Chains A and B, each alone.
Chain A
Amino acid sequence: MDIPYTVQVRPDTGLYNAKVGIWLFLASEMMLFGGLFSAYILLRVGTPPGEWPHGWLDVRFGAFNTMLLALSAITTLLAWVACKVGDFRKFKFFHACTLILALSFLCVKMYEYHDKWIHYEIELKDGRIADGHLVSRTSDEVVIEGRYVTDKKDLYDLRAQKNLPHDEIRIAPSDIVKMQNYGPWHNTFTAIYFTLTGLHALHILGGCCVIGYLWGPGSKMWKTDHERFTNRVEVSGLFWHFVDLVWIFLFPVLYLT
């Protein structure tokens, strides 16, 4: 039993089934990220003035990731074009690039997450706060590389503060009131940051799985039904472009504003 318009386009819509399907799915994804972005807006607007972090994310990594993803979107398109013109080897080349670029993006992201993971804010008994990256932690002492602040508010706007000290600080565990790293639980900024970029990274991973499948075992279909295979490349490419589009908004919203 054959389902019509899997490969041929339907005359009145001008589309084949999977293309309709993927655009519908992307519409729902727009609403998904829309829900998260509206959460971001509400949380930020609801924060007392001066308490929303600025400069906690390294713009260089973000910009580099932006260009990686943009390049991968381009190689994705070219992979599809290669299929359309019948050049299977170029398809393999371009999508191999896509996968390498995507995995590089994820590596940079993991490094950024790790950076937050080992960044601690330590409230001390004498009222000061020690803030910096963890060097070592034993039962006798906690060593971080960072600085002391007296007012928690000084931790928020890193853009406004230049040449911050980065000294080695040794703390006795008995002086610690509370020690918390910059994970999602730290404040609403880290919460929405990890959630937005985490969900985005999951989408990148999912996209890698699909493109990886089409590059690998799925590419057998090139020989049996190359038009249907080309459609699959196009449809997965559309998903990948959408994931790039989300990052085009994520980067400025999280890193630059």
Chain B
Amino acid sequence: MSESNHPVDLKSSIRTCIMVFAVVFIATASMIAVSFSHVGGWPLKVALILAIAVVNAFFVAGYLMHLLSEKKLVYTVLAFTVFFFIGLMGLTVWATNDFPTGTLNH
């Protein structure tokens, strides 16, 4: 017996799936709307679009991958991965943007 923590049945799974599909549809539509709108400069637009994408991903991962009900071990592995992912992105971008622009006295 593999998964014994919650019983699996087709009807409730279909309901969950419809909910996730609706979320994906709405998220996609919102991102497109933000992208074509004139809310502000590109940085704000990009931040907003990525935020919607993260929410979208949360639903797909949480419900379709059952991440919301996963075991501690999986959470631990993913937590470290996310930490290193952020390290890779963040430190590389910081390193590219931090460089000397002049000598000591000028």
Contacts and interface: CB of A to CB of B under 8 A. Distances in A.
Contact of B78 (A20, A23, A82): A23
Interface in B1-31: 1-3, 5, 8-10, 13-14, 17, 20-21, 24-25, 28-29, 31
B31 A256 contact: yes
Nearest to B23: A70
A67 B17 contact: no
A27 B65 CA distance: 14
A73 B60 contact: yes
8 contacts: A13-B71, A19-B74, A31-B81, A37-B89, A70-B24, A244-B64, A253-B50, A257-B35
Contacts of A110: none
B2 A13 contact: no
Contact of A67 (B25, B31, B34, B56): B25
B64 A41 contact: no
B77 A24 contact: yes
Contacts of B64: 73-74, 76-77, 241, 244
A256 B49 contact: yes
Nearest to B86: A34
Given A20-B73, A257-B49, A34 B21 contact: no
B61 A38 contact: no
Given A42-B92, A82-B10, A241-B60, A256 B20 contact: no
A199 B56 CA distance: 22
Contact of A23 (B20, B21, B74, B82): B74
B42 A74 contact: no
Given A13-B71, A15-B71, A27-B78, A78 B10 contact: yes
B2 A227 contact: yes
**Band of interface residues on A:** 35 or more
Contacts of B56: 248
Interface of A: 7-9, 13-16, 19-20, 23-24, 27, 30-31, 34-35, 37-38, 41-42, 45-46, 59, 63, 66-67, 70-71, 73-74, 76-78, 81-82, 84-85, 87, 90, 159, 227, 230-231, 234, 238, 241-242, 244-245, 248-249, 251-253, 255-257
B68 to A, nearest CB: 13
Given A82-B10, A87-B10, A241-B60, A251 B28 contact: yes
Interface in B45-88: 45-46, 49-50, 52-53, 56-57, 60-61, 64-65, 71, 73-74, 77-78, 80-82, 84-85, 88
Contacts of A23: 74, 77-78
B28 A67 contact: yes
A234 B97 CA distance: 43
B96 interface: yes
A252 B36 CA distance: 12
A30 B85 contact: yes
A8 B61 contact: no
A8 B10 contact: no
Given A8-B1, A37-B89, A227-B1, 13 more contacts: A13-B71, A14-B71, A34-B88, A38-B88, A42-B93, A42-B96, A74-B64, A76-B64, A78-B13, A85-B10, A245-B57, A245-B60, A256-B31
Contacts of B82: 30
A42 B88 CA distance: 12
Contacts of B3: 84
